[in-house]
Amino acid sequence: MAEARLPAGELSVPLPTPLELDIILLSLKVALWSVVVSLPVALAISHLLARHDFPGKSLVDACVHLPLVLPPVVVGYFLLVLLGRSGPVGAWLEQWFGIVVAFNWRGAAIACAVMGFPLMVRAMRISMEAIDPKLEAAAATLGAGRAGTFLVVTLPLALPGIVTGVLLSFARSLGEFGATITFVSNIPGETQTLPLAIYALTQVPGGDDAALRLCVISIVLSFAALLVSEALVRRASRRALGHDALGRR
């Protein structure tokens, strides 16, 4: 980058300080893990909603969409009640697996995963519904069982939607605030992701400049995520639709 060669004192937007770098890395770690955790569940739920009819389907659908319409604080509070060290699920996790998610980065990832879940499922479900079920029937006559058909036909054909869902939820995780701060609080170095750090800085006198720097970093990150997603989706749909690399059919 051209700016990097300028003398340090003249930089209008200098490179991130070590502290800022920590915040960025933590935010990326939380967002990445939130996607990793929710991806398999989202794939299963999307397939269930797209390809199966069962009693209570609309209820499942509503539950999936709940985080989209509830105040994030409510989601965070529920997570706290359920997954806190004394909560029913939290106590069970600690007793059997020794995993604690309250007030650490794992909890932040879970909060982000829950908040991004509806976006992920929506994108995946739509792309799975768009696949002709006749292709899956054809796969069955060629010896593919349910799992085989899902892996070899459904999944690759739904790839554009899966990539979109992953990136939407990733971007949502980078920006998650309400549920995270309610569930795992705002602990620097542990749960303080970018939005939380910005919020903390705006709460102390003289923190405006530092907050603004983080805002710029946030914008750059989001922009990069969008560009990458655009490129990936284009590549994925080219594969799924059967165009080759030169765009020929």
The two three-digit tokens of residue 63, written as one number: 């539950």
The two three-digit tokens of residue 218, written as one number: 């946030």
Q: How far apart are CA 38 and CA 118, in angstroms?
A: 10
Render the burial of 64-97: b for 16+ CB within 10 Å, e for the rest.
beebeebebeebbbbbbeebbeebeebeebbeee
3-state secondary structure of 241: helix
Q: CB-wise, 126 or 212, nearer to other proteins?
A: 126
Residue 41 engages other proteins in binding (rule: CB under 8 A): no
Residue 249 engages other proteins in binding (rule: CB under 8 A): yes
Query: How many residues lie near other proteins (CB under 8 A)?
Result: 25
Q: Which stretch binds other proteins (CB under 8 A): 69-77, 131-139, 182-190, 201-209?
A: 131-139
For the chain, what is the total number of helices (H) and then of strands (E)?
A: 12, 0
Residue 205 engages other proteins in binding (rule: CB under 8 A): no
Q: CB-wise, 18 or 143, nearer to other proteins?
A: 143
Q: From the list 89, 135, 187, 204, which residue makes contact with other proteins (rule: CB under 8 A)?
A: 135
Q: How far apart are CA 108 and CA 102, in angstroms?
A: 9
Q: CB-wise, 35 or 159, nearer to other proteins?
A: 159
Residue 242 engages other proteins in binding (rule: CB under 8 A): yes
Least CB distance to other proteins at residue 120 (A): 22
In the window 138-167, what residues touch other proteins (CB under 8 A)? 138-145, 148, 152-153, 156-157
Burial (0-12, 13-18, 19+ Cβ within 10 Å), 129: middle
Q: Which residues of the chain form contacts with other proteins (CB under 8 A)?
A: 132, 134-135, 137-145, 148, 152-153, 156-157, 239-244, 248-249
